[in-house]
Chains A and B, each alone.
Chain A
Amino acid sequence: QVQLVQSGAEVKKPGASVKVSCKASGYTFSDYYIHWVRQAPGQGLEWMGWVNPNTGGTVYAQKFQGRVTTTRDTSLSIVYMELSGLKFDDTAVYYCTRGASSSCDHWGQGTLVTVSS
């Protein structure tokens, strides 16, 4: 079955970077885009961007341009999302999700990133 398993929770200081991983299994990794979506505590969902695991091509929301980088390791079926210049309001649960069914059909369990001094 399709599974997306994310790395564990992180605590970072303002200005630092965080790198979250998302390991895919149960399907052909290169066939489906991976999106990143975040959710601040008690808030709604915010789309950050996507990566084409086949080509490495990316599209990011303008809000995150220059601060987010998504990469992939096709040999391990892992996608990484790195967010730099962390601010307090980057505290959120970060989800990876597979782009399919014209939407996002399978989701990782989420990774809590806490930005705290």
Chain B
Amino acid sequence: DIVMTQTPLSSPVTLGQPASISCRSSQSLVHSDGNTYLSWLQQRPGQPPRLLIYKISNRFSGVPDRFSGSGAGTDFTLKISRVEAEDVGVYYCMQSTQFPRTFGQGTKVEIK
């Protein structure tokens, strides 16, 4: 199975300041079709997960442009340009390149 490792596991951030989360996979996420199936999910307290970013850097419908994704191969990053109060929650990376699908451990974003 592909192991997804996120850092940091906790990220206290000041409102209006940027935040960055790293995700590293134990093997390349480049699929045989040439695509890289790495996505980012947000889970607010008491809510189901919500898709933010798919295929590394594509924002899902309705996701604010302060969220951006980047990376390649085995190293990926989610950035929030200016953290707002509604961004509090746990963020997961997920790989859909190989079975079984696997998730990172989650990174908790909280306001300082």
Chain A interface residues toward B at CB < 8 A: 35, 37, 44-47, 49, 59, 61-63, 95, 97, 101-110
Contacts and interface: CB of A to CB of B under 8 A. Distances in A.
Interface stretch (B14-22, B73-81, B92-100): B92-100
Q: What is the predominant secondary structure among interface residues of chain B facing chain A?
A: loop
Nearest to B103: A45
B85 to A, nearest CB: 22
Contact of B51 (A37, A104, A108): A104
B39 interface: yes
Given A61-B100, A102-B37, A107 B60 contact: no
A110 B50 CA distance: 12
A105 B99 CA distance: 18
Interface of B: 35, 37, 39, 41, 48-51, 54-55, 58, 60, 92, 94, 96, 99-106
A59 B98 CA distance: 12
B54 A45 contact: no
28 contacts: A44-B103, A44-B104, A45-B41, A45-B94, A45-B106, A47-B103, A49-B100, A59-B99, A62-B100, A63-B100, A97-B48, A101-B51, A101-B54, A101-B58, A102-B39, A103-B37, A103-B39, A103-B41, A103-B51, A103-B54, A103-B55, A103-B96, A104-B39, A104-B41, A105-B51, A106-B51, A107-B48, A110-B48
A108 B37 contact: no
Contacts of A104: 39, 41, 49, 51, 94
A97, A107, A110: most-surrounded residue (chain B CB, <10 A):
A107
A108 B48 CA distance: 7
